[in-house]
Amino acid sequence: MLLSSLVEPLKALLQLCISTIHWIVAGVFAKVCFWDGGAKRGTNSWAVSRKPSQKRDQTAPIPKSVNYHFTRKCNYKCGFCFHTAKTSFVLPFEEAKRGLKLLKEDGMEKINFSGGEPFLHEKGEFLGKMVQYCKVDLQLPSVSIVSNGSMIKEKWFQKYGDYLDILAISCDSFDEETNQLIGRTQGRKSHLDSLYKIRSWCQQYKVAFKINSVINTFNIDEDMTEQIRQLDPVRWKVFQCLLIDGENAGETALREAEKFVISDQQFQEFLCRHSDVSCLVPESNEKLYFASCLFMNVFICETARNALNPGEPKNTFLCFL
Ligand SMILES: C[S@@+](CC[C@H](N)C(=O)[O-])C[C@H]1O[C@@H](n2cnc3c(N)ncnc32)[C@H](O)[C@@H]1O
Ligand code: SF4
C-alpha cells in the first residue's frame, strides 16, 4: 500500500528530471548547432522565424506548456516571493512576439503570462497585446494570466477579455491583516476587494477564474473552505512556500523567505482540512523545482541563430511544466 502510493509521485519526479536534463542537453546542442552554422556574432537583427534549413532538434521535448515571466517588477511586497525585481528589463514587444511565434512553431499549446506583476508594465497594454497576439495570430488553445489582481480594470476586460481563456488571481488569506503581514497588498488597499471584483468581471466577460494560494507560516491555520466555495473558481491551486537560492534565500537574494517556510506535514494538514473542496489542486515543490527554465531572448537567439545583444539582461524566463 505504502509502496504503491510512492510509485506515482516517484514516476512524476523522474519524468520531470528527464525533461529537465533533456532541455539542458537540447540547450547545449542548440548552441553547438548555432556555432556550427557560422552565425554572425554581435548582430542586432532578430530573425523573424526559424529558417527553413534549421530543423528542430527532434530529441528535445515539445514545450507544450510555457510560463512567460516577462517582467520582474511588482507593486506588492509578498515576503516569500521567489521572482524578485532583480532587473527592470522587459524584452520589447516585437521581440517577445517573435519568441512566442518560435515557441508555437516548436509545439507550444498553452501560454501563461506571469511576473512580477504582469498588469504593471504599460498599465496592462503590453500584456493585453500579447494575449491578443497569442489567441488571434497564434491561435493557441489556452491563454492564461497569473496576477495579484490589484491593477486590473474593467476596461481591460472590455478590450482584451475575448482573447483570454483563464485568469488566476493569487490570494493567500481571507483575512486583510494577514495579507498585510505577508505583504500581499499595496499600502492600505484591500486585496480582497480586488479579488471579489475580478471574480464578477470574469463571470461577466466569460473568462475562467482560478485562485492561487501559497501556504506559509502566516496562513497555515486558516480554514478557507467557505470563501473558496463562495468564489467558486474552476481551480484552486495550493502551493507550499518554496525557497529558491538567489531569489528569496541566500546571500544574493532580495527577499528572505525562511520565516515563511512550512514543513511537508503542515502542508499535508492544510490539504486535509480542505479535502472537501473539490476544485483544490495541490502543487508540489518538486514540480516547481524541476520546471525547466530558459531565457526568452536566449531562446530566440539560439533558434534563429542570432547573437544576443551584448550586455542585454537575460531576465525574461520560461518554464515548461
Ligand atoms: C511570482 S507570482 C507572479 C504573478 C503575480 N504577481 C501573482 O502574485 O500572482 C506567480 C505565482 O507564484 C506564487 N509564488 C510566489 N512566491 C512563491 C513561493 N515562494 N512559493 C510558492 N509559490 C510562490 C505566487 O503566489 C503566484 O501565484
Ligand atoms: S504579487 Fe507578490 S508573489 Fe506576485 S510578483 Fe509581486 S511580490 Fe511576487
Question: What are the pLDDT digits (tens) for 216-256?
Answer: 999 999 999 999 999 999 999 999 999 988 889 998 888 99
- Residues near 168 by Cβ (< 8 Å), separated by ≥ 6? 144, 145, 146, 147, 209, 210, 211, 212, 235, 237
Q: Which residues are catalytic?
A: 74, 78, 81
What pLDDT score does 36 carry?
Answer: 22
Bridging pattern class, strands 208-215 and 235-240: parallel
Q: Which atom of ligand 1 is nearest to the CA of 184?
A: 8
Is 295's pLDDT higher than 90?
A: no
Q: Does residue 300 register a pLDDT over 60?
A: yes
Structural domains in the chain plus CATH codes? 2-40+62-320 (3.20.20.70)
At residue 285's C-alpha, the angle toward residues 262 and 313, to 5°, is 110
Give yes or no for residue 31 having a pLDDT over 60.
no
* Closest ligand 2 atom to 116 CA: 5
Give the pLDDT score at 89.
Answer: 86
Residue 136 makes CB contacts below 8 A (sequence gap 6+) with 163
Whose alpha carbon is nearest atom 6 of ligand 1?
Answer: 117
Q: Of the ligands numbered here, which is closest to the C-alpha atom of 171? A: 1
Nearest-ligand number for the alpha carbon of 116: 2
Residue 265: HSE in the Cβ half-sphere, 13 Å Cα cutoff: 0
For residue 223, the number of C-alpha atoms closer than 13 Å in the C-beta half-sphere is: 6
Separation CA 44–CA 41 (nearest Å) = 9
Short-list 174, 146, 177, CA closest to 82: 146
- For the chain, the maximum distance between any two Cα atoms, rounded to a whole number of angstroms, is 61
For residue 78, report the distance from its CA to the centre of ligand 2, in Å.
5
Question: What pLDDT score was predicted for residue 253?
Answer: 87
Which cell is 81 given?
Answer: 516571493
Q: Which of 1-10, 118-127, 136-145 has the lowest mean pLDDT?
A: 1-10
147 alpha carbon to ligand 1 midpoint, in Å?
Answer: 9
Q: How far is the CA of 73 from the centre of ligand 1 (A)?
A: 13
| CA–CA gap between residue 214 and residue 288 (Å, rounded) | 13
- 3-state class percentages of the chain: helix first, strand second, coil last, to nearest 5: 40, 15, 45
